[in-house]
């Protein structure tokens, strides 16, 4: 069975409070976008094979198999469903990693749903979300995979009616690694006003003034090149531009397909998507 784990962008990201468990309360809107990895699962029918065989292609994935969220998803379900068979997994990686696009989280969440469907575990969406939260704060979003306002660690979600249909989305990935820990260290939590949900309900022309990613200020200070991406997207006609997550990808939303030839350094990855 083959599935296509998709990326997401954050429409705004506010840090509301520091929690007693060490996490932060967030306020954001998750929006799925049509940039995908390719995940294949095959039941291993050969004897004397490991319970989980993993191979990958496309973008290089750092770390060993035991650090991969697909493997961790399998182990989570295997613990409660010991009858899960030995499997082979192939992941073709196309979503840039460490870029605020949620690619690893999506892979892990899609692995949970794939195992649930393939082996008829009969887990509900709520149960899958509980497993997904053990993989990462934004993993539960990919279970429903619909635009939603998210609070708490990102796991408290409310579906909202918002569509970017007809707009052109451009992702600019500079390949700069932004440490999430470092980004959070330079954040002062505060109440979001307006909330991200309230902001996205305004006309897109107003988002520039009201839809804010709190991480931009500290990240742009540490990595000015990322701030320059946002500046250049606006200079070239973006109706709205923002960093997604804690970076380093910056996206621009355009009314029409933009021409961005020779705007950015040649090693930057520029991804064009028509958001449908």
Same domain? For 93 and 213 the reply is no
- Catalytic hit among 129, 138, 214, 230: 138
Cα 129 → chain centroid: 15
Domain boundary, last residue among 106, 135, 159: 159
Are the C-beta atoms of 87 and 71 separated by less than 8 Å? no
Q: What value does the mean pLDDT of the chain take?
A: 93
Same domain? For 147 and 239 the reply is no
Q: What is the CATH number of the domain that holds 26?
A: 3.30.230.10
Are the C-beta atoms of 270 and 264 separated by less than 8 Å? yes
In order of 148, 188, 209, the CA distances from 199 in angstroms are: 13, 21, 9
Same domain? For 130 and 203 the reply is no
Query: What pLDDT is recorded for position 215?
Result: 94
Domain boundary, last residue among 159, 193, 217: 159
* pLDDT tens digit sequence for 142-198: 999 999 999 988 889 999 999 999 999 999 999 998 877 777 888 888 888 899 999
Same domain? For 184 and 119 the reply is no
Residue 8 is a catalytic residue: yes
Rounded-to-integer distance, Cα 51 and Cα 83, Å: 11
Q: What is the CATH number of the domain that holds 262?
A: 3.30.70.890
Q: What range defines the domain where residue 133 resides?
A: 2-159
Domain boundary, last residue among 142, 159, 176: 159
Rounded-to-integer distance, Cα 83 and Cα 68, Å: 22
- Catalytic hit among 8, 72, 93, 230: 8
Residue 138 is a catalytic residue: yes
* pLDDT tens digit sequence for 110-156: 999 999 999 999 999 999 999 999 998 889 999 999 999 999 888 89
Number of domains in the chain: 2
Token duo for residue 234: 């606006």
């Amino acid at each position: 069975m083959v599935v296509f784990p998709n990326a997401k962008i954050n429409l705004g990201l506010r840090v509301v409070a520091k929690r007693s468990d060490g996490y932060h309360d967030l306020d954001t809107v998750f929006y799925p976008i049509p940039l995908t990895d390719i995940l294949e699962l095959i039941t291993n029918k050969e004897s004397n094979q490991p319970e989980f065989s993993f191979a990958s292609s496309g973008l290089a994935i750092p770390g060993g198999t035991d650090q991969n969220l697909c493997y961790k998803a399998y182990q989570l379900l295997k613990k409660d469903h010991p009858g899960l068979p030995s499997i082979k997994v192939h992941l073709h990686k196309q979503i840039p990693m460490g870029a605020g696009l949620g690619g690893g989280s999506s892979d892990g969440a899609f692995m949970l749903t794939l195992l649930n469907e393939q082996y008829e575990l009969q887990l509900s969406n709520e149960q899958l979300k509980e497993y997904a939260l053990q993989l990462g704060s934004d993993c539960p979003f990919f279970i429903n995979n619909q635009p939603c306002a998210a609070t708490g660690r990102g796991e408290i979600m409310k579906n909202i009616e918002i569509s970017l249909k007809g707009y052109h989305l451009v992702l600019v990935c500079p390949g700069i690694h932004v440490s999430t820990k470092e980004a959070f260290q330079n954040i002062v939590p505060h109440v979001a006003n307006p909330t991200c949900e309230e902001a996205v309900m305004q006309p897109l022309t107003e988002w520039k003034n009201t839809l804010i990613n709190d991480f931009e200020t500290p990240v742009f200070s540490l990595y000015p090149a990322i701030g320059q991406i946002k500046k250049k997207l606006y200079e070239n006609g973006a109706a709205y531009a923002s960093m997604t997550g804690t970076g380093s990808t910056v996206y621009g939303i355009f009314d029409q397909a933009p021409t961005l030839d020779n705007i950015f350094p040649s090693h930057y990855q520029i991804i064009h998507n028509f958001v449908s």
